[in-house]
Amino acid sequence: MKTNRMTRCGAAVAMAALGVGVWAGAATITWTGATSTDWATGSNWTGGPGVPQAGDDVVIDGTAGRDVALSSSTPALGTVTISGNRTLTFNGWDTQLVAYVLDVKSTGTITHTANGAYNTGIGAANGVNRVNIQVGSVLVELGGRITADAGGWQGYTYSGTTEGGYWAHVEDIAASRVMSGPGAGSSGTAGSGGAYGGAGGRSTWDSVNNATYGLLAYPTGAGSGGGHEWDLTSNYSDGGGAVYITATTVSIAGAISANGQDGDGNRGGGGSGGSIFINIGTGGFSLTGSLSANGGDDSVSAYAGYGGGGGGGRIAVWKKLPGAIQSALMAGTDPSSFPELILAYTMAGVTVNGGPVGTNGNTAGSDGTFFFGRVPEPASAALLGFAALALLRRRQRQ
């Protein structure tokens, strides 16, 4: 009994340190969207005095007339269920959904607001918006989606003067880096693909691939946008966004994705894939659906076949491994020293493909990276992981 009381106390202290309330009896609160799309507006909910409180079960379903926008972190909720062709959209990098169980049913969707131009997000190096889920258990049912497709840094849009019908190539590369991310596709007579985990493909007139960035074992950033051809009326391709999940158990029969956007307009390059990071520690992980962070194709217009394909993104699933590999990783050995982590644990349904292209001298984006294992956690990730575990244990003892 003494040990049990100490465990309860420790869990409560950990949750309080994160600003997470303590469960004290649940109500079922249903989203109506009667007033707006704002989660934090009390009149948008029924079944309680207002906005869901700690321990409440939350239902977002087809009875609602609007989708939901979450712009500040929730307390520690009970079970959150999303269905009925409704979408929950995250706004902000640090906005968290904290719950005992998250169930995304066959007609439910979770996403985040697109990151926009890279120069407006400098200071938040990884991105300004993402899906950020901290729960005991995640279930994405067949047909359910957690998606950050085309939610990364936006493709390059240039308004200036032409030089003989062609953008000054060197100047355009510098400008596109500012707008479209650290792996931005360059622009000129045609656009190259954006890069992240894999290099962006060259356009028909490019001579180099765009360089990769980010971490193999801890991918948390947004993907970069593709370049464009000189046509000012074109629309351009955005990189994939970011999905960050800490849970004790994860079951995916549906889809979690952070794919780059296909090139659009004349000779545009594809956006790179984004990032998916899932930290399950020693808990259960089931994947019968799909995890994808693929790069976008080259231009899908009548001028397809000249832009570069977007590079693949990065996916990492943190789960403790047995034996010498786990010991070496925890001691700080570079994960890239163990190619078997990528080869032996590549799962059916996981794709980080580079975007394909035509046959006019342009090249496909390179494939991105997939990591399965565990490395020493950054302090913030460790704290959040403990919070989700503490929440699960507390509810199991009720």
pTM across the whole model: 0.83
Radius of gyration of the chain (CA): 22
Percentage of the chain exceeding pLDDT 90: 45
Going from N- to C-terminal start, the domains of the chain cover 2-396
Phi/psi of residue 391, each to 5°?
A: -65, -45
Cβ 216 vs Cβ 339: under 8 Å? no
What pLDDT, on a 0 to 100 scale, did the predictor assign at position 82? 98
Q: How far apart, in whole angstroms, are the C-alpha atoms of residue 316 and residue 246?
A: 12
The pLDDT of residue 235 is 56
Question: What is the pLDDT confidence band of residue 250, given thresholds at 50, 70 and 90?
Answer: very high
> Is residue 254 over pLDDT 90?
yes
pLDDT one-digit tens code per residue, 119-143: 655 445 678 899 999 999 999 999 9
Q: DSSP per residue over 264-299, as a string?
A: -STTPPPPPP-EEEEEEETS-EEESSEEE-PPPPS-
Average pLDDT over residues 141-157: 91
Most confident of 147-161, 276-290, 347-361: 276-290
Interaxial angle between packed helices 2-17 and 379-396, expressed in degrees from 0 to 180 and rounded to the nearest 10: 130
Structure token digits, residue 13 = 């202290």
- pLDDT top residue among 386 and 54: 54
Q: Is residue 195 pLDDT above 80, yes or no?
A: yes
**In contact, 228 and 388? CB cutoff 8 Å:** no
Among residues 264, 279, 8, 31, the alpha carbon closest in space to that of 135 is found at 279
Would you state the structure tokens that stand for residue 249, as one six-digit string?
Answer: 């158990």
Alpha-carbon separation of residue 20 from 50, 77, 101, 387 (angstroms): 18, 9, 15, 9
Least trusted range by pLDDT, from 47-51, 153-157, 303-307? 303-307
Reference 190, options 307, 357, 304; nearest CA is 307
Residue 182 reports pLDDT greater than 80 = yes
Backbone angles phi, psi at 13, to 5 degrees: -65, -45
pLDDT number for residue 382: 43
Instruction: Identify the pLDDT of residue 301.
Output: 59
